[in-house]
Structure 1
Amino acid sequence: MRTSFSALLAFACSASAASQNYPTNKLATSEPHYPSPWMNPQAVGWEEAYAKARSFVSQLTLAEKVNITTGIGWESGQCVGETGSVPRLGLRQLCMQDSPLGIRFADYASAFSSGQTVAASFDRGLMYSRGKAMGQEHKGKGVNVVLGPVAGPLGRAPEGGRNWEGFSPDPYLTGIGMSETIKGIQDAGVVACAKHFIVNEQEHFRQVGESTGRGYNISETLSSNVDDKTLHELYLWPFVDAVRAGVGSVMCSYQQINNSYACQNSKSLNGILKGELGFQGFVMSDWQAQHAGAATAVAGMDMAMPGDTEFNTGYSFWGANLTVAVLNGTVPEYRIDDMAMRIMAAFFKVGQTVEGLKPVNMDSWTSDTYGYLHASVQDGYQQVNWHVDVQSDHGNLIREIAGKSTVLLKNDGALPLNKPKFLAVVGEDAGPSPLGPNGCPDRRCNKGTLAMGWGSGTANFPYLSTPLDALNQQAINDHTRIEAVLDNYASDAYEALVSQEGATALVFVNADSGEGFIDIDDNEGDRKNLTLWNSGDELIKNVSSICNNTIVIIHSVGPTLVTDWYDSPNITAILWAGLPGQESGRGIVDVLYGKVNPAARTPFTWAAKREDYGADVLYKPNNGNNAPQQDFTEGIFIDYRALDKAKIKPIFEFGFGLSYTSFKYANIKVQKNNAGPYQPTKGKTAPAPTFGKISKNIGDYAFPSAVRYIREFIYPYFNTTSSLKAASADPEYGRTAKQFLPPGALDSGAQNLQPAAPGLSDTPGGNKQLFDELYIVTAEITNTGKVVGDEVPQLYVSLGGADDPPVVLRGFDRIRIDPGQTATFRAALTRRDLSNWDTVSQNWVISSHPKTVFVGPSSRNLPLKAKLS
């Protein structure tokens, strides 16, 4: 029996499966969903944007519509991705730029804390402020679309290389991170791009070229095989929040979903994203994630990035091929209109205007002032960098985030420091890289202190405050003696240092990871283990065996195994500082010395063993030379859900974090609201609209004599007008739509709305009744200590079913409370919060199982509970 989205995967994923070749008839499949839903100008929040888009798109020729949907090619412009332009109407090429923590390749721009780090703050306001500051900086450089934030990977496996770009393996926390970041970015006037859609959970085998270059013999990329319930209740959850926040674009990912490429998976793009969620923005491909032309168009992709089939080839699945496809009917006219409308609606939604666009003032391919406008072919030498300073006062914000996101995991009274007599600082991670903070492109080395991971999700540091820098300055102020050994392997030197009487040892260690095109010490993007790098665990054990006041500070991309040393009585404090960005040093010193009273919570679980997490990276191909099969047989049970289900005690549970004061929880109350019964959405869309007239005269698409041809640049024009077949060398476009396209792909009639979808006049993101507030939960939190501090009360729900996790996060807040004072925590529970996905009705349902709510400071410390009636 072949497996589909709506069926539970029945085959095992285990260590023994790594060498197994799956018979073809057992591979997961993804059912088709056509046609691609067209935009809805009535959607709440999009009305004005679509009115402006209609006015603009109605003036476009077919070639101009194709031009704004197709990238111009890798290194053909100043940004990592650019669409074609519409010079006749004054629209320049639109600029797409990494990254989710700053502006990749830019100078005089900030390097922010990672998404995972700010998630640890459990502070919605900081998440929003970070997003807005990043948006302002991108706008200041002329960027139109920020390629972030990240909810894929969610963090299925703790070794996942790009987990740090996102927020948390908990979908609720990631959803809040996505929503607040998107609002901030788009309030700054640039389009946010939620990525990577969807179940993009590891770097191994994400692209064939990367894999074969490492000796893996595969012909297709990895397939993430997931069932319908898991997809909805776990991986789709934060993308729902992104769509409700009004995100302008979504990036489809590299890997396959149930053996259908994500950028031509009609079920995920047409059926779920655009149909069920009612997404009104545009879907862009990840760079080289497009594997077909017409098939991707009718499956719901709207923009091809960077435009060429492979970097620097000059060939494109779209461009002129898309022009041919529309003219010969392989792609319907309404689909190209829908693509253009979605792109321009997102553009207008964030306040951008054609006449108000400033030129791009940075260049991704050179840091020099002058360079080639078309770097790939060294054409158009001119000024490409204006070195515009867009940092504003964002360093202060980054410092605040670094401090408020540092998690205090252990404290036996060693912290906060108060003018210590002698500090012995140990570890490479405390100091600078000998190559400088930007000495390794895309941060492709781990030297000195770790403040961000590697890959396209990086930014250049304008400066980097290292821990040793900031500690030296504090020591000067306090008249503290301070010495440092920055070599993890110089055991004689650091042992002699920390053995001196009165030493307080600060040991700095790290663990790195990143994107799959970079390999560091055989970590092919994904981490190969969960140990600390550069013998960090041995460093800690050696120092703590000598010094009875050893404080450990971890900079990492996720959890590490601390089992062998965390409970040593000589280790008096442990802090996780994440990837704090350019203000790493000042941020950690603020916490160490009590200028910031820590309140951050770990956004993931610290397990005792790697196996406790319930899911892992697939490191070896398991399907012959075909697509490796990564089977999500653990379902919704990842991170704390996995440990809770298996009744495994973690070292530090999800949501855990200490403070320099203490808090007491009391008096939980539940108020039930009268929201009324849930009604599935009914009705139909309007028929597919078209805008403007498309000329059928093939001669109108000849390469214009007034346009200078640039090699490798992607154009919508034909080199020959003898016939449409001759105009396209791709055999895909030589077939008729009837031969090539699946049933329904060309249908332009009114379509039934899905039961879980928003109505035509509702906010996108799903059936509006899913967001009705059914209950209000309150509790009282008292600061029982002697210093002011923030507390992070968390609301968890037990959905009650045998297949449900024991608890799931459904609310939190960060509240500042003075000593002796009491504050009220308040959280609303929506219908969505209490529902499960029903694969039969294809809708959300509240089961009859008894529901219980819990409130406390972490997922395993929940002193308050109440039943829901």
Structure 2
Amino acid sequence: MWLTPLLFVAASFVQAQDGNTTALFPNATYPGAVSPDPAAAELTAGTTSPPFYPSPWGSGSGSWADAYTKARAFVSQLTLIEKVNLTTGVGWEGERCVGQNGAVPRLGFRSMCMQDAPMGVRDTDFNSVFPAGVNVAATFDRGLAYARGQAMGAEHRGKGVDVQLGPVAGPLGRSPEGGRNWEGFSPDPVLTGIMMAQTIEGIQNAGVIACAKHYIGNEQEHFRQAPEAAGFNFTITDSLSSNIDDKTLHELYLWPFADAVRANVGSVMCSYNQINNSYGCQNSYLLNYLLKGELDFQGFVMSDWQAQHSGVGSALAGLDMSMPGDVLFDTGTTFWGTNLTVAVLNDTVPEWRLNDMAIRIIAAWYLVGRDNTSIPINFDSWTLDTYGYQHFVANEGYGLINEHVDVRAEHGKLIRQIGSASTVLLKNTNNALPLTGKEKLTAIFGNDAGGNPNGPNGCSDRGCDNGTLGMAWGSGSANFPYLVTPETAIQNEVLNNMGAVESITDNFASTQIASLAGRASVALVFVNADSGEGFINVDGNIGDRNNLTLWQGGDTLIQNVSALCNNTIVVVHSVGPVLLGNYSENPNITAILWAGVPGEQSGNSIADVLYGRVNPGAKLPFTLAATREDYGTDLLYLPNEGTDAPQVSFTEGVFIDYRSLDEAEIQPVYEFGYGLSYTTFTYSKLQVTRRDTGPYLSTTGLTSAAPSLASSPKNTSGYLFPSNITRIPLYIYPYLNSTDLETSANETDYDLPGFVPAGGQDGSPQPRIAAGGAPGGNPQLYDVLYQVDASITNTGSVTGEEVAQLYISLGGPYDPKVVLRGFQRLSIQPNMTANFHVDITRRDISNWDTATQNWVISNYTKTIYVGSSSRKLLLNSTLS
């Protein structure tokens, strides 16, 4: 979400975005990038997204049946005005949450509260700050992912939030410099999909609607919005277009969203960018065909904040809720509201489409039990003052707006656990770790060890890199209730053991650093690399990182300390991959740990690992390569010449992160899935059992017709602005201003002849999509075809946790060498053996076939591998 007021020229209310552009596109990837698949290699700036209409109506399939029954009964009672009110936000800063739709007071249905974020409840107090998604991925622990989701959901519920705007699978992490990669999980679609599903189930079981975002191809912050780019002196007309071929879309970027839909996510947020030169929130192919058709998504699609670029066009293309409602922040103009009322009354938007929007919204509300768990909104996003204006932008409705409800419970314990469980031990020479706390002199170095001099919340939206990196920046941030720094935690540890400890948190105090390093028994060096959302520029990094180096002179700090102390331990807090130079080979650097973005318990979490209370078991959720070029993909930092919209063609196809390095036969510094322990493990006794299942059958037949509800009267006088309501300035309303529809609309071209796309108004039964059939896609994709078991033995002297990983070679000429398809985190006592078990589904060994528009199992040999990382594949077997 983008949350800074900017100006731009609004697109037409009826603009269709299934068009195309033609321009020369200079490839943004490195010359050595892998691109063996012709379908991806041929992408150009002229790539277009095909139209698909009508927008599928929800059927209540899967687990949604009861929620749909209740939703249809509720929506059947609504007037046209009330239905429009549900779909349209009231405007930026119009109410107390970052987004709220209109209420239905007549039936006691309050305005729904949409609130960030993926790390905690944003813009309030007495909330927790959880570890970032990238840390959750590093745990490879489904249970922790679920527990975190449930705890976050409980905190949002306690604040009165209806929709938590997370979790994140877009960005997936195509490029390691991507500014918001840390909000998501991993560039591997299977790891991301599993963690997405677990997080969603946790949030929604807590009684809050989850929102999977940002759908789709939202892989960089640069140029995601033209007006935002203008603020950084870039002149573009339209948002960046991510050009993605069909096969890559299915096998990589859509994969985790399918898992989210299968987990019954209640809402999906469409993204700012264009995909194949059609805006994400009005791309009928992505919303109608893929999301609502092929994946059978039953919830509602909401726009990212100001990502809506048309009225009728977006309605027919599958958008269900406009957020925050106004075209421009705080202007009172809207694509929907009054305009949507007009469009239904003049039959441009069929009323069944509006009914479907409303039913989808209310069904998600019932699905998670909001009718039983709803708590009044008790905070305000625009101020922490106890008293203020309910309608902040209008300075109206003065009263109690912040009740300062403490929703943290005992979540700090879980946060500390996830922080330590996500810390990856990369190097540990001669068992340098764990420490005892009784070292003669412990020296702590680095800005990243200490606190922000202005306090943990001293930079708005955490838009700075001062002190330890407990959270990155942007709308994915939240206010810290406290932040335990590494300096504090380590000091406590050493003092409890009667040791000596000194610290220097100025990275550039070279004289003092040299003096202390030369005396230290052990030197703990803390370094970081930050990033965030594109509306904030930190040290020249406009959301996205400019490079993969450490910040604040971190490399110089490591070099200076390690040159004088032969027991230097490096701890990296970062949003993603960083370049570690020759640290893995430096004999004076005895240990390296990656600790990610761990949240409020940062110091305690790392101390638990450093001092052995927790045996590290995390694995890298991405690759640490030797050079930036080794990744094979990069961001577009300057607009293409001769294009209105910057063009980024994903010509690398599915070859990102470890898949790219594997294909190019590049040796990483530390590979995907890598991580050490304070103990050792062996792998043995691989067994593959084939399961008998029926053949894969395409979904056939027709859907039902669009659900029929009573038609709204066409008498325009019944929809005029009520005389007994005091109009709040800049507030978005659904009422007409005049009985003349053309006069009442904000735009004058809502009824241009020929605008409505072919099929856009058709409510008759439609052909079902072959690869569809249930939430998540054809249910037979999830049939278990094989069961894999192996024995994992702890051969060391301490209890440890090992993440055993299953990889598959699909065998085709355009397939990656191996792809992750399963994992299990096992806790194993010394000299004991645990069973590793993973099911292989039909989807796991299938490829997307563009000709048949379905999943197929190719005739190439499939080989499975079980190991401790993507490069340490210890056991293998060929699938029969």
Counterpart contact for 1:217–1:625, Cα < 8 Å: no
CA deviation string 1:261-310 (max 9, x = no partner): 00000000001000000000000000000000000000000000000001
| Separation in structure 2 between the aligned mates of residue 712 and residue 449 of structure 1, nearest angstrom | 40
Which amino acid is the alignment partner of residue 404 of structure 1? A
Q: TM-score, normalised by structure 2?
A: 0.95
Matches of residues 5-404 of structure 1 in structure 2 within 5 Å? 12-14=27-29, 27-41=46-60, 43-353=61-371, 357-404=374-421
CA deviation string 1:142-184 (max 9, x = no partner): 0000000000000000000000000000000000110000000
Counterpart of 1:438 (choices 457, 460, 468) is: 457
Corresponding residue number in structure 1 for 2:5: none
Corresponding residue number in structure 2 for 1:494: 513
Corresponding residue number in structure 1 for 2:558: 540
Are the structure 2 counterparts of residues 455 and 568 from structure 1 closer, same or farther at C-alpha, using a change threshold of 3 Å?
A: same
Matches of residues 540-559 of structure 1 in structure 2 within 5 Å? 540-559=558-577
Which amino acid is the alignment partner of residue 495 of structure 2? I
Counterpart contact for 2:157–2:374, Cα < 8 Å: no
| Separation in structure 2 between the aligned mates of residue 654 and residue 4 of structure 1, nearest angstrom | 39
Shift of 1:564: 3.6
Corresponding residue number in structure 1 for 2:625: 607
Q: More displaced, 701-710 or 650-659? A: 701-710
Unaligned runs of 5+ in 1: 18-22
| Separation in structure 2 between the aligned mates of residue 250 and residue 835 of structure 1, nearest angstrom | 26
Corresponding residue number in structure 2 for 1:467: 486
Counterpart contact for 1:57–1:692, Cα < 8 Å: no
| Separation in structure 1 between the aligned mates of residue 661 and residue 455 of structure 2, nearest angstrom | 41
| Separation in structure 2 between the aligned mates of residue 750 and residue 233 of structure 1, nearest angstrom | 29
CA deviation string 1:176-202 (max 9, x = no partner): 110000000000000000000001000
Shift of 1:118: 1.1
Counterpart of 2:764 (choices 746, 749, 756) is: 749
Corresponding residue number in structure 2 for 1:20: none
Counterpart contact for 1:254–1:262, Cα < 8 Å: yes
3-state DSSP of counterpart to 2:785: strand
| Separation in structure 1 between the aligned mates of residue 746 and residue 190 of structure 2, nearest angstrom | 47
**Is 1:802 the equivalent of 2:820?**
no
3-state DSSP of counterpart to 1:733: coil
3-state DSSP of counterpart to 2:676: coil
CA deviation string 1:217-265 (max 9, x = no partner): 1010100000000000000000000000000000000000000000000
Corresponding residue number in structure 2 for 1:837: 848
Matches of residues 817-832 of structure 1 in structure 2 within 5 Å? 817-832=828-843
| Separation in structure 2 between the aligned mates of residue 484 and residue 252 of structure 1, nearest angstrom | 46
CA deviation string 1:546-597 (max 9, x = no partner): 1100000000000100124331000000000000000000000000001000
**Is 1:642 the equivalent of 2:653?**
no
**Is 1:683 the equivalent of 2:698?**
no
Shift of 1:24: 13
Are the structure 2 counterparts of residues 858 and 632 from structure 1 closer, same or farther at C-alpha, using a change threshold of 3 Å?
A: same
Which amino acid is the alignment partner of residue 332 of structure 2? G
3-state DSSP of counterpart to 2:750: helix
**Is 1:740 the equivalent of 2:755?**
yes
CA deviation string 1:718-773 (max 9, x = no partner): 1222x11111131331324xx11111111111001011001xxxx41100100000
| Separation in structure 2 between the aligned mates of residue 63 and residue 26 of structure 1, nearest angstrom | 42
| Separation in structure 2 between the aligned mates of residue 124 and residue 578 of structure 1, nearest angstrom | 18
| Separation in structure 2 between the aligned mates of residue 231 and residue 732 of structure 1, nearest angstrom | 35
Are the structure 2 counterparts of residues 657 and 14 from structure 1 closer, same or farther at C-alpha, using a change threshold of 3 Å?
A: closer
| Separation in structure 2 between the aligned mates of residue 772 and residue 609 of structure 1, nearest angstrom | 41
Counterpart contact for 2:25–2:44, Cα < 8 Å: no
Counterpart of 2:614 (choices 583, 588, 596) is: 596
Corresponding residue number in structure 1 for 2:37: none
Matches of residues 553-632 of structure 1 in structure 2 within 5 Å? 553-624=571-642, 626-632=644-650
Counterpart contact for 2:157–2:375, Cα < 8 Å: no
Shift of 1:623: 4.1
Shift of 1:868: 0.1
Shift of 1:26: 5.2
Counterpart contact for 1:288–1:308, Cα < 8 Å: yes
Counterpart of 1:450 (choices 458, 462, 469) is: 469
Shift of 1:692: 3.0
**Is 1:775 the equivalent of 2:775?**
no
CA deviation string 1:468-506 (max 9, x = no partner): 111111111111100000000001001100101x52000
Instruction: State, as a whole percentage, how many aligned pairs show the same letter.
Output: 60
3-state DSSP of counterpart to 1:259: coil
| Separation in structure 2 between the aligned mates of residue 688 and residue 793 of structure 1, nearest angstrom | 47
Root-mean-square deviation over aligned CA pairs = 1.6
CA deviation string 1:434-490 (max 9, x = no partner): 000001110011100001110000110001010011111111111110000000000
Which amino acid is the alignment partner of residue 535 of structure 1? G
| Separation in structure 1 between the aligned mates of residue 749 and residue 439 of structure 2, nearest angstrom | 72
Counterpart of 2:685 (choices 656, 667, 673) is: 667
Which amino acid is the alignment partner of residue 462 of structure 2? R
Counterpart contact for 2:128–2:600, Cα < 8 Å: yes
Q: More displaced, 253-262 or 704-713? A: 704-713
| Separation in structure 1 between the aligned mates of residue 369 and residue 576 of structure 2, nearest angstrom | 36
Q: More displaced, 61-70 or 207-216? A: 207-216
Counterpart of 2:802 (choices 772, 791, 810) is: 791
3-state DSSP of counterpart to 1:572: strand
3-state DSSP of counterpart to 1:765: coil
Counterpart contact for 2:484–2:604, Cα < 8 Å: yes
| Separation in structure 1 between the aligned mates of residue 674 and residue 43 of structure 2, nearest angstrom | 45
Are the structure 2 counterparts of residues 4 and 863 from structure 1 closer, same or farther at C-alpha, using a change threshold of 3 Å?
A: farther
Which amino acid is the alignment partner of residue 855 of structure 1? V
Which amino acid is the alignment partner of residue 394 of structure 2? V
CA deviation string 1:619-671 (max 9, x = no partner): 00004350000110000000000000000000000000000000000010100
Corresponding residue number in structure 1 for 2:824: 813
Shift of 1:214: 1.1
| Separation in structure 2 between the aligned mates of residue 623 and residue 348 of structure 1, nearest angstrom | 49
Which amino acid is the alignment partner of residue 752 of structure 1? P
Corresponding residue number in structure 1 for 2:867: 856
Which amino acid is the alignment partner of residue 771 of structure 2? A
| Separation in structure 1 between the aligned mates of residue 202 and residue 495 of structure 2, nearest angstrom | 38
Shift of 1:352: 1.1
Matches of residues 410-449 of structure 1 in structure 2 within 5 Å? 410-412=427-429, 413-418=431-436, 419-449=438-468
Which amino acid is the alignment partner of residue 30 of structure 1? S
Corresponding residue number in structure 1 for 2:544: 526
| Separation in structure 1 between the aligned mates of residue 802 and residue 19 of structure 2, nearest angstrom | 44
Unaligned runs of 5+ in 2: 1-17, 33-41
Q: More displaced, 740-749 or 193-202? A: 740-749
Counterpart contact for 2:351–2:711, Cα < 8 Å: no
Q: TM-score, normalised by structure 1?
A: 0.96
Corresponding residue number in structure 1 for 2:741: 724
